[in-house]
Amino acid sequence: MSLKARLRIAILGLVVPIVLAISILYLQSAIAEGLEDAGARAELIASHVRSHVLDRIAERLAQRTPPLPPGTPLAEQKQLWYAIVRDDAPLARMLEKMVSSSSSVIEIMVSDEQGRILASSIASRTSSAAMNLPEYEVWQRGKPWRALREVLTRNRDYATSVALGLAGETDPVLTVRVVLSSVLLRQRIEPQLRKIAALLLGALGVSVFLAFVVSNLVSTSVRRIGRNIELISAGEAGTEEPYQFESKDLIDLQSKLALLGKKYTGFREDAANLRSNIAHMLQRLEEAVLIFGSDGSLRMVGAPAERVLMRRHDELIGKNYEELFPHWTPLGAALHTALRLSAPVRDRPITLDRGAPPAVRLIANIEPIEGAPGQPPGLLVTLRDAESRRQIESQLDISSRLAAMSRITGGVAHEIKNPLNAVSLHLEILRRRLDSQDGALLDEVNVIAREIQRLDRVVKTFLDFNRPLELKWQLCDLAEVTQEIVTLVAPQAEAAGVRAVTEVECAPAWIRADRDLLKQAVLNVVTNGIEAMANGGELALRIRQSFDEYVLTVADQGAGILPEVQDKIFTLYFSTKPHGSGIGLAMAFRVVQLHSGRIYFDSEQGKGTSFHLAFPVAQNALHSEQARSAGQGQAGAVH
């Protein structure tokens, strides 16, 4: 905002409240005066009617023949008063005339103690029941703004009442009511409201005009200073042409601003470089790092933290740590502990609920960061995924064991293969020589031959598993491969009473893979799931994206994996099935690793097992999808 605009706002900010305050006071006074005048006129009319009614009653009683004897019962006297008022035609005409001459009264009535109208300015209301209306005097004494709102927005009637009674009696015999309408009161005060509104608008217009004139006059000398300040804020100090001020104070101010601009520009560049370096470092770290300022807001966050918290960068930056981690959560409690004690929190195990299952187990380190003097400290929060670390250690252990086994079994298999061939050859010679001899001895030789063949198959399996694989890389849609496998195993699943269902949250799910090996690995896991459900059930295959990975989950409803054997299931030749080969999961583990992926599982006894196969998202997936669509369009045109 320019200095001129600020000056105009300042002038308007001073003038407008004063004009509004004066207008409000004048409006309040005018409203009170108008309502009070209407109330006074109504009371005067009521008093006049009361006097007239008393005079007419006295006159009629004096003319009565015979006169009313002393000691007449009270009820008879009241009935006589009622009759006099009800039959007095001049009284009704007088009430009608008084209403027509008033600008705010709509009805004048005289009613008995039961509220029945005896005389009214509206002849049709005679003998009907009087309405219970709010007292005008009580309503008028209320808040002026409330009275003004009701007058301007509501159509309502109010009454001013005067009682008439017998001498020596406290209860009234007759009641005179003067009814005022909010509609007529509105018409009465509208001219004053219009006058006040015109004065207010005029005063505001004059104040705006003065603000523009004064701001233009005052801003002539300081406009360039404002321009220089804006340039300093933008980091462009020194680009404005030299000033030529007449005042020494302004010349000193110019030189100080120039010096401040140079220093500010240097500090800004240093801060930008430092921030860029820190941001780059946070992106490259494996751990999730969050930096909170002294005001508790999140200043910097790296990509690993976004993956751990399952929230985007724009959803995190600027949020207070209380919003992200409330004090009743484990991480929030650790943050409060670090701030309260001004001491670091080291290697605190916590469970973080990310709003969607499953919760993640983390190792938290919290370090207070000293800020400016008098300011509360900031916080440096480092989070490590304890579960992922355990899984990585477990998979590294499995990989190491598989690699060691591969080296041992590969050498052993080569050493066994040649003697095994020689034994097999000599056994075949021995069988031919025994063809014409003892049959029982020949049977024994056949048994030995079959066992040698089985041992030969085992050796070939070893060699095939350890043989280096040459991957044929291509872009594959993980969702499409999964659907092909579901179609492939449908007969086997149906025979086992298993219903295979797929849930795809992201399609297509492009990854770089050897399609045949990928298909074989997923098929091994799916087949395992079907065979694990001896009593049938549902086999769910779900595909979702977790940041830079596509995760395929194969969940069965089998008996689960025993805790004591969970560390062995990826080991070659280990199987929990009576006739299992122990090769399928080991091969799947190897294939996933060759694709730079991860395979892990979670199992619960009696509820089933879920295997998760995670593969990196192909970087050029979007381009490939567009190219594929274009290729399909061209193929369709050729066809």
pLDDT in tens, 325-366: 888 888 888 888 888 888 888 878 888 776 766 677 788 888
- State residue 638's pLDDT score: 34
| Residues 457 and 540 occupy one common structural domain | no
Give first-to-last CA distance, the chain, whole Å: 64
Q: Is 2 left (phi over 0), alpha (psi -120 to 50) or beta?
A: beta
Ranges of the chain whose pLDDT falls below 70? 1-4, 8, 144-145, 167-169, 214-259, 261-286, 354, 356-358, 385-418, 420-422, 426, 433-441, 447, 450-451, 454-469, 578-581, 620-639
> In total, how many domains does the chain have?
5
| Residues 276 and 295 occupy one common structural domain | no
Tell which residue, 550, 554, 565, has the closest CA to residue 608: 554
Pairing of strands 608-616, 549-555: antiparallel
Bridge partner residues of 163 (DSSP): 175
Q: Is residue 633 part of a domain?
A: yes
- State residue 390's pLDDT score: 53
Percent of the chain with pLDDT over 90: 9
Q: Are 82 and 118 in contact (CB under 8 A)?
A: yes
Pairing of strands 537-546, 157-164: unpaired
Question: CA-CA distance, 100 to 96, in Å (whole number)?
Answer: 6
Phi first, then psi: give them for residue 374, nearest 5 degrees. Answer: 85, -5
Q: Are 196 and 30 in contact (CB under 8 A)?
A: yes
Contacts of residues 409-416 at CB distance under 8 Å and 24 or more positions apart, as own/partner, are 409/462, 409/465, 409/466, 409/572, 410/462, 410/463, 410/466, 412/462, 413/459, 413/462, 413/463, 413/466, 414/463, 416/455, 416/459
Bridge partner residues of 365 (DSSP): 382
- State residue 633's pLDDT score: 45
Chosen domain end from 390, 423, 455: 390
The residue type found at 194 is R
Q: Is residue 327 part of a domain?
A: yes
| Residues 30 and 162 occupy one common structural domain | yes
Chosen domain end from 423, 441, 466: 466
**Cβ-based neighbour number of residue 404 at 10 Å:** 10
Q: Is residue 21 part of a domain?
A: yes
Report helix, strand or coil for 595: coil
Question: CA-CA distance, 599 to 554, in Å (whole number)?
Answer: 11
- State residue 245's pLDDT score: 43
CATH code, domain carrying 120: 3.30.450.20
Tell which residue, 341, 308, 342, has the closest CA to residue 325: 308
| Residues 23 and 172 occupy one common structural domain | yes
Question: CA-CA distance, 517 to 511, in Å (whole number)?
Answer: 13
Q: Is residue 64 part of a domain?
A: yes
C-alpha angle with apex 389: 388 to 395, nearest 5 degrees? 85
Bridge partner residues of 414 (DSSP): none
| Residues 364 and 407 occupy one common structural domain | no
Question: CA-CA distance, 157 to 492, in Å (whole number)?
Answer: 87
Residue 35, CB half-sphere, CA atoms under 13 Å: how many? 25
| Residues 61 and 158 occupy one common structural domain | yes
Q: Is residue 216 part of a domain?
A: no
- State residue 634's pLDDT score: 43
Report helix, strand or coil for 143: coil
| Residues 319 and 184 occupy one common structural domain | no
| Residues 25 and 131 occupy one common structural domain | yes
Q: Is residue 27 part of a domain?
A: yes
Question: CA-CA distance, 492 to 633, in Å (whole number)?
Answer: 37
Per-residue pLDDT tens over the stretch 281-331: 555 556 778 888 888 888 887 777 777 777 787 888 888 888 888 888 888
User: Residue 350 belongs to what domain range?
Assistant: 282-390
Inter-CA distances, 286 with 270, 387, 573, 614, Å: 26, 14, 35, 18
**Cβ-based neighbour number of residue 577 at 10 Å:** 11
The residue type found at 368 is P
Question: CA-CA distance, 119 to 334, in Å (whole number)?
Answer: 83
Q: Are 509 and 477 in contact (CB under 8 A)?
A: yes
| Residues 275 and 293 occupy one common structural domain | no
Per-residue pLDDT tens over the stretch 266-276: 666 666 666 66
Question: CA-CA distance, 73 to 75, in Å (whole number)?
Answer: 6
Question: What is the Cα 326 distance to its own chain's centre?
Answer: 15
Tell which residue, 528, 585, 587, 581, has the closest CA to residue 559: 528
Q: Are 299 and 293 in contact (CB under 8 A)?
A: yes
| Residues 492 and 633 occupy one common structural domain | yes
- State residue 144's pLDDT score: 67
CATH code, domain carrying 535: 3.30.565.10
Q: Is residue 203 part of a domain?
A: no
Per-residue pLDDT tens over the stretch 468-486: 667 788 999 999 999 999 9
Residue 513, CB half-sphere, CA atoms under 13 Å: how many? 26
Chosen domain end from 156, 173, 196: 196
Q: Is residue 330 part of a domain?
A: yes
| Residues 442 and 509 occupy one common structural domain | no
Question: CA-CA distance, 297 to 316, in Å (whole number)?
Answer: 9
How many angstroms separate the most distant Cα atoms in the chain?
168
C-alpha angle with apex 281: 277 to 283, nearest 5 degrees? 120
| Residues 521 and 439 occupy one common structural domain | no
